[in-house]
């Protein structure tokens, strides 16, 4: 079922240029080898996507929803081959990959439901007022339409849920946009299996061939060519800050600049409020280390920073966290390059004059394993060196001791944009937390209380986004149903004759969607 192909529309191609993936747990190369897509395939895939765009954008909600469900079914139909390959390529445990498959198909089915309901169209009608003085008001109707072909760059840390058929692809397809995926070179076999599932769904649903293409490859030039192609109208990316910034630069320099939705970098501060720290420091330390080391710490929402006021309670917390981390098992990272970056980041912190190492996890027993790392410093040092606030992707975290609540607030105000912030608090902390809340809200996309930032619910109310550099566009989310909005834009229709009005805007509301009429919105259909 895997032969290293590129999928250009409904075609299956091979390139003479090849690359290999490896099993990170052993470092050994995996078969088969894979096509490295080049500029020719980018141009062809984008031309097909542009041709497909108006046809696919015009699909009615039922057809589009059925397509999303067909993708989910095709992914499930791959069966254990998908799980086995993803485990092999990612080094992630089987249970995690099985859960991730459920999240991937569940996400597609949730978008199908949302597409059918139609709230995303934001249908807004201001009826004509022919007798208004001094000028009559025209009939004005507005709806959202698809922006056009979208380039998706899969993430290495979610080989299913944020890769070929992951959140970016699902939300772009739900919005009515053809998708060209640049396959991640760390899991090309997993990518190809999923891409072929989507290709089958496109055929089964009689959609235009260009609705989906899959271009595996390992060069930056491939990604650059894709983002540069004038037919691409938006980009979804999850990965490193350097990668995201490079794509933003390319997109901004185009003749027609386009939006890049890059989810890049976050250290996800956890704030231990005084009463909570005094009451349950030991339990907090254990929960923290569990969140920090889960999946080798390879989550965008990994808790890489702890802020608290110095004193005996924080000392006890740090000691307990150090004890917990000391007995944490090493865990295989996603790829040799990610492991190498982790090692470099940890070494830089360990060697920093202002940083003390509290503990390391148990030593490596195999290739590419992350050994947990826990550091501490104080607020003045942290504020003095921006490097201490940079993400070390993996199970590395820094505890920052603040002198008082004012200094803690000052540290938050100086943080770069973050995906999340977590408050550990008890009743006695509410007054202080009320002071913190607006400062936090200014810096992050999601604020949580008495939990841990890892684990991102795919829901209507989720925001997996945040001010730069957490993402390139803090007005958006890449997880949850709001993610569709990234690939839509509003168009107004003025005084259109009945025969020309799009179905969503027709007087008889033939799609049965909730409308805003004269500024007053109807309830959603159930």
CB of 97 to its own copies, least distance (A): 15
| Residue closer to its own copies, measured from CB, 305 or 415 | 415
Question: Is 355 within 8 Å of 398 (Cβ atoms)?
Answer: yes
Letter string b/e over residues 509-525, b meaning 16 or more CB atoms within 10 A of that residue's CB = bebebbbeeeeeeeeee
Burial 450-465 (b: 16+ CB within 10 A, else e): eebbbebebeeebbbb
Of the pair 290, 524, the CB lying nearest its own copies is at 524
Q: Residue 139: which of 125, 150, 149, 151 has the closest Cα?
A: 125
Q: Which is nearer to its own copies, 398 or 456 (CB)?
A: 456
Nearest-angstrom CA–CA distance, 83 and 150: 27
Q: Which of 263, 343, 391, 416 is catalytic?
A: 263
Helix (H, G, I), strand (E, B) or coil at 403: coil
CA atoms within 13 A on the CB side of 291: 27
Give the nearer residue to its own copies in terms of CB position, either 12 or 279.
279
515: its two tokens: 């409308």
Q: Of the residues 46, 177, 300, 402, which is catalytic? A: 300
| Shortest Å distance, C-beta 510 to its own copies | 16
Contacts of 415 (CB under 8 A, 6+ apart): 269, 389, 443
Residue of 453, 456, 391, 385 lying closest to 422 (CA atoms) = 453
Nearer to its own copies, 327 or 414 (CB): 414
What counts of helices (H) and strands (E) characterise the chain?
14, 25
Active site residue 46: no
What minimum distance in Å lies between the beta carbon of 147 and its own copies? Answer: 7
- Does a cis peptide bond (omega within 30 degrees of 0) precede residue 134? yes
Element (H, E) at 180: strand 179-183
CA angle 357, 359, 362 (to 5 degrees): 135
CB 409 within 8 A of CB 383: no
Cα dihedral 163, 165, 167, 172, rounded to 10, equals 120
On the CB side of 162, CA atoms within 13 Å amount to 19
Question: Of the two residues 177 and 359, which places its CB atom closer to its own copies in the complex?
Answer: 177
Q: Which is nearer to its own copies, 372 or 417 (CB)?
A: 417
Residue among 446, 472, 470 at smallest CA distance from 459:
446
* DSSP 8-state code for residue 27: T
Of 23 and 126, the one with the shorter C-beta distance to its own copies is 126
Q: What number of CA atoms fall less than 13 Å from residue 344's CA on the CB side?
A: 10
Q: Minimum CB separation from its own copies for residue 205, in Å?
A: 20
How many CB atoms lie under 10 A from the CB of residue 283?
A: 12
Name which of 271, 349, 265 is nearest 306 in CA terms: 271
Least distance from its own copies to the Cβ atom of residue 268, Å = 13
> Rounded to whole angstroms, how far apart are CA atoms 347 and 341?
10
CB of 502 to its own copies, least distance (A): 8
CB of 483 vs its own copies, minimal distance in Å: 11
Nearer to its own copies, 242 or 257 (CB): 257
Rounded Cα distance between 247 and 237, Å, is 9
Residue 218 near residue 191 (C-beta atoms within 8 A): no
How far apart are the C-alpha atoms of 399 and 314, rounded to whole Å?
A: 9
Whether 522 sits among the annotated catalytic residues: the reply is no
Q: Annotated active-site positions, please? A: 263, 300
């Amino acid at each position: 079922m895997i032969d290293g192909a590129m999928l250009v529309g409904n075609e299956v191609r091979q390139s003479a240029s090849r690359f290999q993936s490896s099993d990170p747990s052993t470092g050994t190369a995996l078969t088969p080898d894979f096509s490295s897509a080049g500029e020719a395939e980018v141009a062809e895939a984008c031309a097909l996507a542009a041709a497909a765009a108006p046809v696919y954008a015009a699909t009615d909600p039922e057809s589009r929803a059925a397509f999303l469900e067909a993708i989910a079914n095709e992914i499930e139909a791959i069966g254990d081959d998908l799980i086995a390959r993803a485990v092999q390529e990612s080094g992630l445990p089987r249970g995690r990959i099985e859960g991730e498959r459920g999240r991937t198909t569940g996400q597609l089915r949730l978008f199908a439901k949302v597409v059918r309901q139609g709230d995303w169209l934001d249908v807004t009608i201001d009826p004509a007022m022919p007798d208004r003085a001094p000028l009559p008001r025209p009939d004005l109707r507005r709806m959202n339409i698809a922006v056009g072909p979208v380039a998706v760059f899969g993430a290495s840390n979610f080989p299913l849920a944020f890769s070929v058929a992951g959140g970016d692809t699902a939300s772009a397809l739900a919005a009515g946009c053809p998708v060209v995926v640049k396959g991640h070179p760390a899991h090309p076999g997993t990518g190809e299996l999923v891409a072929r599932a989507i290709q089958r769904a496109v055929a089964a649903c009689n959609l235009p061939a260009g609705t989906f293409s899959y271009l595996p490859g390992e060069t930056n030039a491939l990604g650059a060519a894709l983002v540069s192609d004038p037919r691409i109208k938006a980009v979804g990316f999850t990965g490193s800050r350097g990668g995201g910034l490079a794509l933003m630069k390319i997109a901004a320099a185009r003749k027609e600049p386009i939006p890049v939705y890059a989810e890049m970098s976050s250290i996800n501060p956890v704030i231990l409020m005084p009463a909570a720290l005094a009451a349950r420091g030991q339990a907090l330390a254990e929960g923290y280390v569990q969140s920090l080391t889960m999946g080798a710490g390879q989550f965008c929402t990994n808790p890489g920073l702890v802020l608290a006021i110095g004193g005996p309670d924080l000392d006890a917390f740090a000691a307990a966290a150090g004890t917990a981390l000391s007995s944490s098992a090493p865990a295989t990272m996603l790829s040799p390059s990610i492991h190498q970056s982790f090692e470099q980041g940890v070494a830089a912190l360990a060697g920093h004059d202002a940083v003390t190492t509290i503990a390391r996890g148990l030593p490596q027993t195999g290739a590419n394993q992350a050994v947990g790392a826990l550091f501490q410093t104080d607020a003045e040092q942290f504020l003095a060196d921006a490097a201490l606030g940079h993400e070390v992707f993996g199970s590395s975290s820094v505890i920052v001791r603040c002198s008082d609540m004012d200094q803690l607030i000052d540290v938050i105000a100086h943080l770069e944009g973050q995906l999340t912030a977590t408050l550990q608090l008890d009743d006695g902390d509410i007054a202080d937390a009320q002071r913190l809340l607006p400062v936090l809200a200014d810096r992050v996309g999601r604020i949580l209380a008495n939990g841990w930032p890892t684990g991102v619910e795919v829901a209507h109310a989720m925001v997996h986004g945040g001010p730069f550099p957490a993402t390139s566009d803090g007005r958006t989310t890449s997880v949850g149903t709001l993610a569709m909005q990234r690939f839509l834009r509003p168009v107004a229709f003025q005084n259109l004759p009945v025969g020309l009005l799009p179905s969503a805007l027709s007087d008889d509301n033939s799609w049965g969607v909730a409308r805003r009429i004269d500024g007053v919105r109807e309830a959603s259909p159930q």
